[in-house]
Amino acid sequence: KKVSTRYREWKEIVMWAYSISLNYPSLASIVQIGNSYEGRPMLVLKIGNHKSAKKGVFLECGIHAREWISPAFCQWFATEAIRTYGKDKEMTRLLDSVIFHVLPVLNIDGYIWTWTNDRIWRKNRAPTPVDKCIGTDLNRNFNASWNGIGFDDEPCSEGYAGTAPESAPEIKALTAYIRENLQSLKSYISFHSFSQLLLYPYGYTEEVPPNHEKLEQVAKSAVKALSSLYNTTYTYGPIYTTIYPACGSSIDWSYDEGIKYSFGFELRDEGQYAFLLPEHDIEPTCKETMLAVRNIASYLIDRD
Ligand code: 0X9
Ligand code: ZN
């Protein structure tokens, strides 16, 4: 079977990433950005024409352990981008001007836990101040109104924000990498499931960001491209009003760091299978999402 037509465990994802970088050295390279709490290497695959590409787009997958379609999409994206470079005109144009920094699994320890112990685990696997409760919600641990509206300081709950902004080693490593690449990064996209939404900042306030009209226009166009394949319905809008208030999340942080095209996808489905999206849906989900991501990236290469 092809890559990402089934869900892959962490070991397979590592082997897949290394084989891509070895087989396509001019289009792909691996950077280790840090280590997970349990010490596993956090890998970013940089995909693009390293000679000509000046802009960067960051793709963050697997922040929530149980949302398996998210890492599957990052794998699909990287594989498909490389496969079609030099064949598909638009993909060639994209990779000639953009490096995609693909983080296939941000929450590695949690992801492994969903394979071995608890399929619906969400958080990382670091201890908390409460002995019997494990894990910080990594999408509440960013330094973006960290203890603002909806803040959860209960270590035993699913949305536990951690002891301080960036207290999770996974988030410390990721934010350091983003800061190092701020000059080139034009977009930051976070992939979750489920609900079929395309979100943009803010989640920590009802106020809309300065360029919200542009964000809305880009989101509208991306959703239109996505739906063109199988008629999948997506809703778009700010996190706060489209899903719920959420502080300390990745795309609010990346936006406030200056990455003005920060988006969050909530991929398929609408709740029927929810986090347990069947493998049969991986391919269509990835194909339609690819159209949306390409649409966003194309918009960006034609502007500063
Ligand atoms: O609560 C969250 O962190 C996200 N929903 S989820 O069910 N995937 O946990 C919503 C926050 C913003 N969403 C994205 N950035 N996609
Ligand atoms: Zn999520």
The pLDDT tens digits for 28-79 are 999 999 999 999 999 999 999 999 999 999 999 999 999 999 999 999 999 9
**Helix, coil or strand: residue 44:** strand
Whether 295 is in the pocket of ligand 1, judged by its Cβ within 6 Å, is no
Pocket test for ligand 1, best of 107, 192, 196, 263 (most atoms within 8 A of CB): 192
| DSSP assigned state of 38 | T
Q: And the tokens for 148?
A: 């603002």
pLDDT at 160: 98
Ligand 1 within 6 A of 246 CB? yes
The residue contributing the CA closest to ligand 1 atom 16 is 264
pLDDT exceeds cutoff 70 at 3: no
Ligand 1 atom with the shortest distance to the CA of 139: 3
Pick the catalytic residue from 90, 266, 279, 283.
266
Residue 302 pLDDT level (bands cut at 50, 70, 90)? confident
Q: Is 266 in the pocket of ligand 1 (CB under 6 A)?
A: yes
Q: Which mutation among 243, 261, 296 tests ligand 1's pocket best, with the greatest number of atoms within 8 A of CB? A: 243
* C-alpha to C-alpha distance for 26 and 170, rounded to whole angstroms: 28
Q: Average pLDDT of 94-110? A: 98
Average confidence (pLDDT) over 69-95: 98
* Contact 264 CB / ligand 1 (< 6 Å): yes
**Which residues is 46 bridged to in the sheet?**
29, 101
| Residue 238 CB–ligand 1 contact under 6 Å | no
Average pLDDT, the chain: 97
Asked if 207 is an active-site residue, the reply is no
Residue 28 CB partners (closer than 8 Å, separation 6+): 20, 21, 45, 46, 47, 78, 82
Atom 13 of ligand 1: nearest residue by CA position: 264
Backbone angles phi, psi at 3, to 5 degrees: -55, 135
